[in-house]
Homo-oligomer: A and B are copies of this chain.
Amino acid sequence: MPTHPASLFSIATGSPEPIYRQLVEQVRRLSASGQLRPGDEMPSVREIAQALTLNPMTVSKAYGLLEMEGVLARRRGLGMVVAESAAPAAKADIVGLLRPTLERAATEARQLELDSDTVLSLFATILKETK
């Protein structure tokens, strides 16, 4: 599935999370979950920049980091593609990407002295809302 527009991404300009990092993490997740597959062409820096009204350098920085990570590969003069080495992750690995945030939530819950049942039922509710 050749990725067409730049509407893949949703950026929260107000967030404390830097824009370039939001891009990096979204691409990482899209790749891990198989929504982006090796060989898929990424939208050009300029396309994304225009679609999201960002500075091209911001997008470029994200692409650069993703290349260093091995998620994307540069085809000189031709744009970026999803790297062959970035095959969709095994389910165990996908799950692993979620771990840090869940661990943080668990730590906070413990500090709040909330019991597991309360926390789990809250999370279940939120998961339904988000869907």
Binding site for B on A (CB under 8 A): 13, 18-19, 25-26, 29-30, 32-35, 55, 68, 76-77, 91, 94-95, 97-99, 101-114, 116, 118-120, 122-124, 126-131
Contact = CB atoms under 8 A, between A and B. Distances in A.
Contacts of A120: 120, 123-124, 127
Contacts of A110: 130-131
B127 A112 contact: no
Q: State the majority secondary structure of interface residues on A.
A: helix
A131 B34 CA distance: 34
12 contacts: A18-B76, A33-B112, A33-B114, A91-B118, A94-B114, A95-B118, A97-B108, A98-B122, A106-B123, A106-B130, A109-B130, A120-B127
B114 A128 contact: no
B99 A122 contact: yes
Contacts of A76: 13, 18-19
B112 A94 contact: yes
A111 B29 contact: yes
Given A101-B104, A104-B101, A109 B127 contact: yes
A113 B35 contact: yes
